[in-house]
Structure 1
């Protein structure tokens, strides 16, 4: 089994910024919400920044780090001090930091570029183009190497945040829109879902891990499946335009709503409820609803499917199209909000009417970089440009034989300092809530 090279317990302090040492933040190379949408991490040329999402009017930067340049993956474990960082300068290495203590916990090197990292309180999953590595987050021990997966150049995968339904989803085929559902706790494949006719472009779990949303590369139809059986529950039509690139799917905390953002100027929000006309309804609308359902059964399946697809419940029209963004639904100050983080360096906050839907109202726009640091966007972030995962997958990957510790036959020689994947600091427990308490703005 091919294993990544691990380095643990360096105990070295990571370099913090001085009071006047703001990083030279340019347009963003990545952005990610944490598992409960209480913070936003962004990566840039000189490091990463972590923002609290507790207020609409303020964006408190609770941490900024420059220990790694050109950050292309920045993931936080809930509201803890645990950060996972990948840099473009060493895209095959994953660094894990305890940013409140200012220490590096460990780092792992892999045989090719890291395209995505997903984590919950039990597991940490590293996604390469043709492999997945599942680690135990308690001690970072490698539990499973899922090798020779279908080519996945965009690093597409999703990990449920619920510890009792800790499922992993990733493309199950390179020629069709299949999704492999994998049990990340018991380390076994559960099922393969035939989600779409074309390649899968986006996947996301609900907070409970009992629902999975997906979109294909065409981007016109979004489907929701029950987990773990894989039965289709909902089908939504985002629009008739073809080949729209869906950049993110995200459930609300109660799984009653689903938002989808793409490279167009519109973000769609769908309500997850079944519309079935009441059998006892004497109304004209109820009668027409039954007639509509009956008539669709005589039409070709493609037409019938379109007739049964629900439209968006609410939507947002962004000021510009073409820039990659991620969206999320959250409760901030006891009000439902739609959050859109764009790689142009802004966070947009909208109010969402849970009763009426319709057009969402923009209530605040926050800049995620400083005015003095504003520079033109890098080519990969321009409209129609490649994402980080697409960029590194088209470049020549680092030769695994040149990585220290890798043997020619694909095996790994672990260093003397990391026997049995143990930490130098034996008192450090990654699954201990007290070890990683929530961080507030005043703490840093």
Structure 2
């Protein structure tokens, strides 16, 4: 059986709350944990041909302390950006962002590569997909891991490799190269299938607010995104860019969508309900690969990371927007983002000169891959690197400019004590 690397505790994982301990969301939306049919039921109901009973969990043990840092295969934030997960070549690890600390780790003694780790807020349920040169699980399966039981309690099998997984308290979304499956969490019943353009990065985003589900994925054309509004049973197609879509992000309520193309120069913000373009901001003038986009919790700011080694923060000026979210700006907040000094002749010169630029920036190593999210402290950004780097930075919402580094850690260092 898998064991914690921390000291023994009567609770299998005291750092994880059970779903019923979550008080910040409607308990009616919490998933049930009994994912297996009983032994006298058909383990492959017609409503979900991809569901199979799980084989016994293979023996697991803590691997000996490695002399070198593990190879990082995957990093991702949880839904409220308070934690992040790392899939490595022999297991996975979960970290708290504020304060920064390792919550726990799972090390497997054979195979062990985990290519996808998707958290469900802070509860005990995770979705795992094998990855790397020696995967712990087949890369065409999604394993539902219950950390209270220290084992997999369900699995979903597919005919091709799983590119990514998204979790809500009521849904499991599995992304393949050209197809997306949406399941009910309570019984793993298949609810919806979506065809997409070739999607090797597994691009998909789901809203996390209680109630209506909004799902965004690539459409069937280059530069197109598809928005599914499940509450109103409406599908909206948005031609967001002329080039291939490489990154997008949803606001928590699913009302706002930020998109970036393979050019990597412009980021566009859309209203997901009617598909209208609300704002356009410029990362830079030269081509870049956008790695991640993130809205702040109140959708007042947007963070962008790219292979140019700079994280940008943009001010969003979205009027109206979704009910229940206050996007009003105080007197101390910036009224506008920086514009080119030649913006007054924007009708004559190319669009570049009237572009809206970032309010704040933070410089990193160029060429490395980073993902970003807004921290729980005011005006802070958390940056995670595929090299194991963790940065916490603060930006000045009034004066902008270079961000201040508040914290740095290498979360993969084997000698690090948490």
Q: Same fold (TM over 0.5)?
A: yes
Aligned match of 2:278 = 233
Deviation at 1:309, TM superposition (A): 2.8
Specify the alignment match of 1:426 in structure 2: none
Q: Given the alignment of the two structures, is residue 132 of structure 1 paired with residue 172 of structure 2, yes or no?
A: no
Equivalent residue for 2:380, pick from 337, 343, 356? 337
Match of 1:156?
Answer: 203
Distance 1:221 1:169 in 2: 19
Q: Shift in Å at residue 367 of structure 1?
A: 1.4
For residue 366 of structure 1, report the CA deviation from its aligned partner.
1.2
Q: Do 2:69 and 2:414's aligned partners in 1 also have CA atoms closer than 8 Å? A: no
Please state if 1:41 is matched with 2:85.
yes
TM-score computed with the length of structure 1 as normaliser: 0.72
**CA-CA distance at 1:64 after TM superposition:** 3.0
Q: CA deviation at 1:135?
A: 0.7
Q: Which residue of 1 aligns with 2:369?
A: 324
Q: Which secondary structure does the structure 2 equivalent of 1:306 belong to?
A: helix
Q: 1:2, 1:129 → 2: CA distance?
A: 22
Q: In the TM superposition, what whole-angstrom CA distance separates every residue of 1:149-180 from its partner, at most 9, and x where no partner exists?
A: 22212211211112334111111134x31111
The residue correspondences of 1:93-104 to structure 2 (distance < 5 A) are 93-104=141-152
Q: How many residues align?
A: 347
Q: Is 1:199 the counterpart of 2:228 in the alignment?
A: no
Contact 2:250/2:258 (<8 A) preserved: yes
Report Cα offsets for 1:126-157 as digits up to 9, x if no partner.
1111111001122222112224x222122112
Task: Give the Cα–Cα distance (whole angstroms) in 1 for the partners of residues 59 and 395 of structure 2.
Answer: 40
C-alpha RMSD over aligned residues: 2.9
1:252 and 2:299 aligned: no
Residues 394-425 of structure 1, C-alpha deviation per residue, up to 9 Å, x if partnerless? xxxxxxxxxxxxxxxxxxxxxxxxxxxxxxxx
In structure 2, distance between residues paired with 1:62 and 1:39: 12
Cα distance in structure 2, aligned partners of 1:111 and 1:70? 20
Q: Distance in 1 between matches of 2:301 and 2:218?
A: 24
Pairs within 5 Å for 1:150-189: 150-174=197-221, 176-184=222-230, 188-189=233-234
Q: Deviations over 1:207-251 (max 9, x none)?
A: 121100000000000000112111111100000012x11010000
Shift of residue 264 of structure 1? 1.3
Name the structure 2 match of 1:397. none
Q: Is 2:47–2:190's contact at 8 Å kept on the other side of the alignment? A: no
Query: Could you give the per-residue CA deviations for residues 244-292 of structure 1, whole angstroms, max 9, x where no partner exists?
Result: 11010000111000001011111111010269xxxxxxxxxx9xx9x98
Kindly state the Cα deviation for residue 342 of structure 1 after the two structures are TM-superposed: 0.6
> 110, 125, 144: which one pairs with 2:192?
144
Matched residues in 2 for 1:22 and 1:49: separation? 15
CA distance in 2, matches of 1:30, 1:138: 27
Higher helix share: 1
Partner-residue secondary structure (3-state), 2:254: coil
Map of 2:391 onto structure 1: 348
CA 1:62–1:26 in structure 2 vs 1: closer, same or farther (change >3 Å)?
closer
1:245–1:2 CA distance, 2 compared to 1 (3 A): farther
Aligned CA distance change for structure 1 residues 228 and 11 (closer, same or farther; 3 Å): farther
1:105 counterpart (153, 157, 161): 153
Taking a change above 3 Å as real, the CA distance of residues 307 and 123 of structure 1, as seen in their structure-2 partners, is farther
Gaps spanning 5+ residues in structure 2: where? 1-45, 320-335
2:73 matches 1:29: yes
Distance in 2 (alpha carbons) for counterparts of 1:23 and 1:258: 39
The 2-side partners of 1:25 and 1:98 are apart by 26
Is the 1:261–1:325 Cα contact (8 Å) retained in structure 2?
yes
Specify the alignment match of 1:309 in structure 2: 355
Q: How far apart, CA to CA, are the structure 1 residues paired with 2:51 and 2:175?
A: 16
Aligned equivalents of 1:71, 1:27: Cα separation in 2: 10
Residue aligning to 1:70: 113
Q: Name the structure 2 match of 1:209.
A: 254
Q: Spell out, residue by residue over 1:184-226, the C-alpha distance to the aligned partner (whole angstroms, 9 max, x if none).
A: 456x552101111111110100112110000000000000011
Higher-RCO chain (CA-CA 8 Å, sequence separation at least 6):
1
Match of residue 402, structure 2, among 330, 335, 359 = 359
**Contact 1:122/1:163 (<8 A) preserved:** no
- TM-aligned CA deviation for residue 119 of structure 1: 1.4
**1:28 to partner: Cα distance:** 1.1
SS of residue in 2 equivalent to 1:268:
strand
Q: What's the counterpart of residue 282 of structure 1? A: none
Per the alignment, in what secondary structure is the counterpart of residue 121 of structure 1? Answer: coil
Could you say what secondary structure the match of 2:140 adopts?
Answer: strand
Q: 2:54, 2:155 within 8 Å by CA — same for their partners in 1?
A: no
CA distance in 2, matches of 1:328, 1:102: 29
SS at match of 2:98: coil
